[in-house]
Amino acid sequence: MNKNDTEFLYDKGLLVVLSGPSGVGKGTVCAALRQIMPELIYSVSATTRAMRQGEQEGVNYFFKTKEEFKRMIENDQLLEWAEYVGNYYGTPRDFVDQQLDEGKDVILEIEVQGALQVKEKFPQGIFIFLAPPDLAELRSRIVGRGTETEETINSRMSVAKEEIELMDKYNYVVVNDEVEKACHRIQAIVLAEHLKKDRQIAKYRKWLKEV
């Protein structure tokens, strides 16, 4: 990493990508994390899946028709996108870029396919795989939603097994056994990333220039 790359890291916020299999509790952990780390900017994803009870437009997701979503793909308005169990998910690009340029940390809560796309475009991001304690617990959580058919549950479990195989593509693995513990583990990761030598040395180089 050369000096210019280091300065780039100092000037930009951290892009934290949290992903894992369906049912692992990404949304729950992310919501709790924002309570203890209010400085984190949450990037709302776009999706074509139906709105669930209690969800709000522009808060949980931007809900789009498949035609609207495809236009966003064609116009390169998404940082990443993926098709998952018959629906599309994606991250609007402009909002994320603006926050990072202002030095703010952004957290993306996205599916595994999308996370790997982001890694190709933004390898300096912090990629965290949220894992279940075991597969039996993962299935129990999906069933507990009460929103899925048996066929969909089996499909999600099949995909989950494939996604867990991709764990080695991530920088960190956090087991979601208890939400509070998972949040504190992620908080520690973010703090450690901010304290990395490459980010700190740029700050001191800037100060030395000003002396």
- Hey, where are the domains in the chain? 3-43+104-210
What's the pLDDT score for residue 5? 43
Dihedral, 104, 57, 183, 41 alpha carbons, nearest 10:
0
- In DSSP terms, 174 is beta-bridged to 130
Which CA distances in Å does 1 have to 68, 124, 133, 197, 211? 40, 11, 36, 12, 25
CB atoms within 10 A of CB 32: 17
N- to C-terminal Cα distance for the chain?
25
CB atoms within 10 A of CB 39: 9
Residue 182 has pLDDT above 90, yes or no: yes
Give the DSSP H or E segment for 77: none
Quick one: CA dihedral 31, 179, 160, 138, positive or negative?
Answer: negative
20: pLDDT confidence band, cut at 50, 70 and 90? very high
Average pLDDT (111-132) is 90
Query: Which of 23-27, 85-89, 149-153 comes out lowest in average pLDDT?
Result: 149-153
CB atoms within 10 A of CB 9: 17
Higher pLDDT, 148 or 86: 86
Q: Provide the pairing of β-strand 45-47 with 61-63.
A: parallel
* 168 DSSP assignment: G
Average pLDDT (19-48) is 91
Give the DSSP H or E segment for 130: strand 126-131
What's the pLDDT score for residue 190? 95
CATH superfamily of 3-43+104-210: P-loop containing nucleotide triphosphate hydrolases (3.40.50.300)
* Max avg pLDDT among 4-8, 59-63, 184-188: 184-188
Check if the beta carbon of residue 46 is closer than 8 Å to that of residue 69.
yes
The backbone torsions φ and ψ at residue 35, rounded to the nearest 5 degrees and listed phi first, read -70, -35
Residue 73 has pLDDT above 90, yes or no: yes
94: pLDDT confidence band, cut at 50, 70 and 90? confident
Q: CA-CA distance, 24 to 33, in Å (whole number)? A: 15
Residue 97 has pLDDT above 80, yes or no: yes
Amino acid identity of residue 95, one-letter, is F
Query: Which of 25-34, 47-56, 149-158, 175-184 comes out lowest in average pLDDT?
Result: 149-158
What's the pLDDT score for residue 203? 77
185: pLDDT confidence band, cut at 50, 70 and 90? very high
Check if the beta carbon of residue 82 is closer than 8 Å to that of residue 90.
yes
Residue 10 has pLDDT above 60, yes or no: no
* Helix/strand/coil for 62: strand
* Max avg pLDDT among 35-39, 42-46, 97-101: 35-39
* Helix/strand/coil for 78: strand
What's the pLDDT score for residue 28? 92
